């Protein structure tokens, strides 16, 4: 198999004295859609933040194309092609939808004609945003905010987009739309690392998946394998 886009080995991190991750091994290949599942407080968000450079790792390695990126700053991770859509959307509330999307392209040269192209692409992907481009982001509904957050991630033109809690608190119809868009994005060649509390959906979408439990990887495999595993069905799908 080709070299993974991102390969994580023995990653440890936490907040001050509190260690949260205890040696995570995980990889994402080009164009793959990988889901991370696990109960509340398992450390999924901390893992994404450690990868994206918001939380410094205390140990372990994050290889992008074989090069060491553990402990780099978020802007360096973006340059390497790794972007994160944070839990809770975290839009810039009193900026317009358009300005939020342009913030996503902050790292790119301002005269890059690709920015305009990607902006149009996001608008085509989420027509609801096009209607509301001039509105403050804080006035959007939850689903629209998630569209805007994902669009903002896309505007950095990442090769790997990490999304923390896609469907949390959103109406089922909005979730369906978002999933369609994610699949489209993935087919267009962007790898996705998805944290999703709805385990059935997470496994339905993904090629492969990992189960995070108390800061460790408890299980991994193809989405199919995990969906069929009795442990997963019992612990996370309530079957």
Ligand X SMILES: Nc1ncnc2c1ncn2[C@@H]1O[C@H](COP(=O)(O)OP(=O)(O)O)[C@@H](O)[C@H]1O
Is the Cβ of residue 23 or residue 88 nearer to other proteins in the bound state? 88
Query: 83 contacts which partner out of Mg ion, ligand X, other proteins, none, CB within 5 to 8 A by kind?
Result: other proteins
Total of chain residues touching other proteins, rule CB under 8 A: 27
Q: Which listed residue (46, 50, 52, 167) binds ligand X by CB under 6 A? A: 46
CA gap 94, 102 in Å, rounded: 14
Tell the smallest beta-carbon distance from residue 130 to Mg ion (Å).
Answer: 30
- Residue 111 contacts other proteins per CB under 8 A: no
Tell the smallest beta-carbon distance from residue 122 to other proteins (Å).
Answer: 15
- Residue 44 contacts ligand X per CB under 6 A: yes
Is the Cβ of residue 1 or residue 18 nearer to ligand X in the bound state? 18
Q: Which residues of this chain interact with other proteins, rule CB under 8 A? A: 52-54, 73-75, 78-79, 83-84, 86, 90-95, 99, 102-104, 106-107, 110, 138, 152, 156
């Amino acid at each position: 198999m080709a070299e993974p886009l991102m390969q994580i080995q023995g990653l440890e991190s936490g907040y001050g004295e509190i260690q949260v991750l205890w040696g995570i091994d995980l990889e994402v290949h080009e164009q793959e859609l990988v889901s991370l599942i696990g109960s509340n407080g398992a450390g999924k968000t901390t893992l994404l933040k450690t990868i994206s450079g918001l939380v410094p790792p205390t140990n372990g390695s994050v290889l992008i194309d074989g090069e060491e990126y553990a402990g780099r700053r978020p802007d360096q991770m973006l340059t390497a092609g790794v972007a994160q859509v944070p839990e809770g959307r975290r839009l810039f509330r009193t900026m317009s939808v358009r300005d939020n999307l342009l913030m996503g392209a902050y790292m790119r040269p301002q005269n890059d004609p690709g920015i305009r192209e990607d902006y149009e692409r996001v608008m085509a992907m989420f027509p609801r945003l096009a209607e509301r481009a001039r509105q403050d982001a804080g006035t959007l509904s939850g689903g629209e905010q998630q569209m805007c957050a994902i669009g903002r991630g896309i505007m950095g033109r990442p090769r790997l987009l990490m999304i923390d809690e896609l469907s949390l608190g959103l109406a089922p119809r909005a979730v369906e739309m978002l999933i369609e868009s994610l699949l489209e994005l993935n087919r267009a060649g962007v790898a996705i690392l998805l944290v999703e509390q709805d385990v059935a959906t997470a496994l339905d979408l993904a090629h492969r998946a990992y189960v995070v439990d108390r800061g460790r990887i408890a299980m991994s495999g193809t989405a199919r394998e995990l969906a069929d595993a009795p442990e997963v069905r019992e612990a996370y799908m309530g079957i």
